[in-house]
Chain A
């Protein structure tokens, strides 16, 4: 596609529910990254993939968070048993490789009530 597409744009969920956030990267981009951005802060690294392989998941806050990219294209970030502190903007980015600039999507604003 022309850009990085994230869905949904907004998600309101009740505490304790599971959510799945989707990222469709730019076609041909090898690397895909997940970041979380609080208001007024810089993006905080969560995890990244090269093709389908998860290279680094050290930024995932706890074991309620997981991500996959099974066919090396679309990725899903899943948060189980959501908590209010999970509320944030979740951003996906993709690039041709780890040595290139990122193209960010518009993000998913998650609100846990």
Chain B
């Protein structure tokens, strides 16, 4: 079945450093969504990418969708303590089902 792989599983960065998480799907996706889950919280929708090669920015966050629509990345510039949490990608397949990756847990060192 379809798989969505996310790496790394964990990332520790010093406050102010950059952070990137990568998402790869075994199949071509209709679109990809990104969510953030704070410790003890629930996933919160960040963004959806639809077009091949699409790049979107939200302040310090940059999201990219690969040309083949099988991979995506989230890059955070100059991390802050408020960025702590787990970042999930979620790929929508052609059956309209969204499959979540296992997430990348970001920990910020002060």
Interface residues of A (CB under 8 A from B): 33, 35, 40-45, 48, 55-56, 58-59, 91, 93, 98-107
A residues less than 8 Å from B33 (CB atoms): 101-102
Contact A42 B42 (CB under 8 A): no
Q: How many B residues touch the partner, as a band? A: 20 to 34
Interface string of B31-63 (1 = CB under 8 A from A): 101010000001111011000000000000000
A106–B42 contact, CB under 8 A? yes
Known: A41-B102, A99-B31. A55 touches B96 (CB 8 A): yes
- Nearest CB in chain B to that of A33: its residue: B98
Residues of B with Cβ closer than 8 Å to A?
A: 6, 31, 33, 35, 42-45, 47-48, 88, 90, 92, 95-103, 105
* Bound: A91/B98 CA distance, A: 14
Q: Is A98 touching B48 in the complex (CB atoms < 8 A)?
A: no
In whole angstroms, what is the CA distance A38 to B102 when docked? Answer: 10
Q: Is the CB of B42 within 8 A of A105?
A: yes
A42 touches B96 (CB 8 A): no
Supply 16 further A-B pairs (C-beta < 8 A) apart from A101-B47, A102-B45: A33-B98, A42-B6, A42-B88, A42-B101, A42-B102, A43-B100, A45-B100, A56-B95, A59-B97, A93-B43, A98-B96, A100-B48, A101-B48, A102-B98, A106-B42, A107-B42
6 A-B residue pairs with Cβ-Cβ distance under 8 Å, sorted by A, are A43-B43, A44-B100, A45-B97, A56-B95, A104-B43, A104-B44
